[in-house]
């Protein structure tokens, strides 16, 4: 399932007055995250993503992502263990004159796609063959 958020940020904001966009994830594995800063953002739009209230991208509380004409793509393997879990996109625009819009997308796939159920048996059989005499 692809979750996509198109977030418009008004001018002249700070981290204290940031826009918080939230959505719930019910099950699966967060597999990819894209954050697109279109031309004109000029590094003035700051973004941080939280999972259940804790920094997720980037993981440091005092860091953020920003860019101009750039799309960040993060390969992630983060399992949703106790659904529903809350994802928050915190963003603010320090441009004094213009509003800017960013796009944030999450690809969430079923856990079985990452490690299919049948592969457990194959892995166990392979490990046993290493240790069991024939």
Q: Which of the four pLDDT bands, split at 50, 70 and 90, describes residue 47?
A: very high
Question: Which tens digits make up the pLDDT trace of 107-128?
Answer: 999 888 876 655 556 666 666 6
Global pTM value? 0.81
CATH fold, domain 2-131, is Jelly Rolls (2.60.120)
Domain spans in the chain, listed from the N-terminal domain onward: 2-131
β 100-109/2-9 pair status: antiparallel
Mean pLDDT of 90-99: 97
Spatial distance between the Cα atoms of 12 and 124, rounded to a whole number of angstroms: 57
Tell me which of 20-29, 42-51, 104-113, 125-134 is least confident.
125-134
Mean pLDDT of 96-112: 94
Spatial distance between the Cα atoms of 49 and 41, rounded to a whole number of angstroms: 18
pLDDT, position 133: 57
* Largest CA-CA distance found in the chain, in angstroms, rounded: 75
């Amino acid at each position: 399932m692809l979750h996509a958020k198109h977030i418009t940020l008004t001018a002249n904001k700070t981290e204290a007055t940031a826009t918080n966009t939230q959505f719930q994830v019910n099950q699966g594995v967060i597999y990819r995250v894209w954050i697109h800063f279109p031309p004109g953002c000029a590094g003035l739009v700051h973004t941080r993503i939280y999972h259940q209230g804790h920094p997720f991208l980037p993981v440091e509380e005092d860091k953020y992502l920003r860019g101009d004409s750039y799309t960040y793509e993060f390969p992630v393997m983060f399992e949703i263990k106790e659904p529903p879990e809350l994802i928050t996109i915190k963003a603010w625009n320090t441009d004094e004159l213009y509003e800017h819009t960013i796009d944030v997308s999450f690809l969430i796939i079923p856990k079985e796609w990452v490690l299919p159920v049948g592969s457990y048996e194959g892995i166990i059989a392979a490990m046993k063959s290493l240790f069991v005499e024939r």
